[in-house]
């Protein structure tokens, strides 16, 4: 999975240029596009617009087409981040609590959500919503209180089986407000060049069901796929730094004589 994002360097004036994404005929894999709120026809028109691209089956390509008004420079800044979900490939680590505590405060998130009969509520730690009730969590946004460099949080939700997903990055609201629409499936993932240095954990609860553990590569829903989301709890923490192995005395030429044929 990848995030294609229209970015704007600091101090640069806004442009009217835009670009659109299509499945290229090159490659045998399939490509799915999940545009963020406000993005139509996979067309990025303003800074911050993004589309999550999922490649399945085999290698595939994305065709990017740029559109430029007359008399405007042809420079568009397109940023592409890979969402790495291969947690099993991460090297074994040895816990170093001092380093983890030093950086944990830089991962703090605040969640703001719209809950049935309660309206907009927020949570900086613990549950957004009440896992012991059936009150719908109809929409939400995640906001960095302290954002680590090279890291972002992506999330997705659906309101019913087979419906188009809504996708957002931290700061974006997905779902609905005051429309009595449930969220029936949800997913979270870390993105950015330093995503492998952090770990995403937490749980989600659908009405009448036990908590489900968040997996970065899995879309979660209730047993029937129709149960409404009532609560979420998401935590991002730095992975423990890997301690280097002690030097082997057998590699020291002053300790051992090494014979090579």
Residues 193 and 203: their CA atoms lie apart, in Å, by 25
Q: Say what the pTM is.
A: 0.60
User: Residue 231: its pLDDT value, please?
Assistant: 96
Which of these, 63, 181, 54, lies nearest to 116 by C-alpha position? Answer: 181
Sign of the CA dihedral running 113, 212, 183, 46 = positive
Which letter does DSSP use for residue 98 in this model? H
Paired tokens of 192: 């950015």
Residues 256 and 205: their CA atoms lie apart, in Å, by 59
Residues 33-61: pLDDT tens digits?
888 888 888 898 888 888 988 888 878 88
Helix (H) or strand (E) holding 99: helix 97-104
Residues 107 and 121: their CA atoms lie apart, in Å, by 21
Residues 110-130: pLDDT tens digits?
999 999 999 999 998 889 999
Which of these, 206, 144, 197, lies nearest to 170 by C-alpha position? Answer: 144
| Distant-in-sequence, close-in-space partners of 178: CB < 8 Å, separation ≥ 6 | 114, 138
User: Residue 72: its pLDDT value, please?
Assistant: 67
Paired tokens of 70: 């007359």
User: Residue 109: its pLDDT value, please?
Assistant: 93
Long-range contacts formed by 157-161: CB under 8 A, 24+ apart: 157/183, 157/185, 157/186, 157/187, 157/229, 158/183, 158/184, 158/185, 158/186, 158/219, 159/183, 159/184, 160/184, 160/226, 161/225, 161/226
How far, in Å, are 75, 118, 198, 207 from residue 132 at the CA level?
52, 15, 30, 8
Give me the residues of the chain with pLDDT under 50, please: 87-104, 241-251, 255-261
Residues 195 and 107: their CA atoms lie apart, in Å, by 12
Residues 167 and 50: their CA atoms lie apart, in Å, by 9
User: Residue 106: its pLDDT value, please?
Assistant: 59
User: Residue 146: its pLDDT value, please?
Assistant: 86
User: Residue 201: its pLDDT value, please?
Assistant: 92
User: Residue 68: its pLDDT value, please?
Assistant: 78
Paired tokens of 31: 């490509």
Residues 249 and 220: their CA atoms lie apart, in Å, by 50
């Amino acid at each position: 999975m990848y995030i294609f994002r229209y970015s704007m360097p600091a101090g640069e004036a806004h442009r009217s240029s835009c670009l659109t994404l299509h499945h290229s005929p090159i490659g045998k894999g399939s490509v799915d596009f999940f545009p963020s709120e406000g993005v139509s026809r996979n067309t990025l028109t303003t800074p911050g617009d993004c589309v999550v691209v999922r490649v399945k089956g085999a290698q595939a390509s994305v065709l990017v087409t740029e559109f430029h008004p007359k008399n405007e420079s042809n420079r568009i800044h397109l940023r592409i981040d890979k969402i790495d979900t291969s947690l099993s490939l991460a090297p074994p680590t040895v816990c170093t609590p001092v380093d983890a505590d030093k950086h944990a405060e830089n991962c703090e998130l605040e969640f703001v959500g719209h809950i049935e009969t309660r309206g907009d509520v927020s949570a900086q730690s613990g549950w957004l919503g009440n896992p012991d009730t059936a009150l719908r969590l109809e929409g939400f946004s995640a906001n960095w209180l302290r954002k680590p460099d090279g890291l972002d949080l992506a999330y997705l939700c659906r309101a019913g089986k087979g419906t188009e997903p809504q996708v957002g990055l931290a700061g974006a609201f997905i779902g609905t407000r005051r429309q009595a629409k449930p969220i029936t499936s949800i997913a979270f993932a870390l993105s950015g060049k330093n995503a492998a240095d952090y770990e995403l954990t937490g749980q989600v609860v659908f009405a009448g069901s036990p908590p489900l553990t968040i997996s970065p590569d899995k879309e979660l829903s209730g047993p029937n796929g129709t149960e409404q989301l009532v609560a979420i709890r998401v935590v991002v923490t730095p992975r423990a730094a890997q301690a280097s192995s002690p030097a082997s005395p057998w590699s020291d030429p002053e300790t051992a004589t090494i014979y090579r044929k």
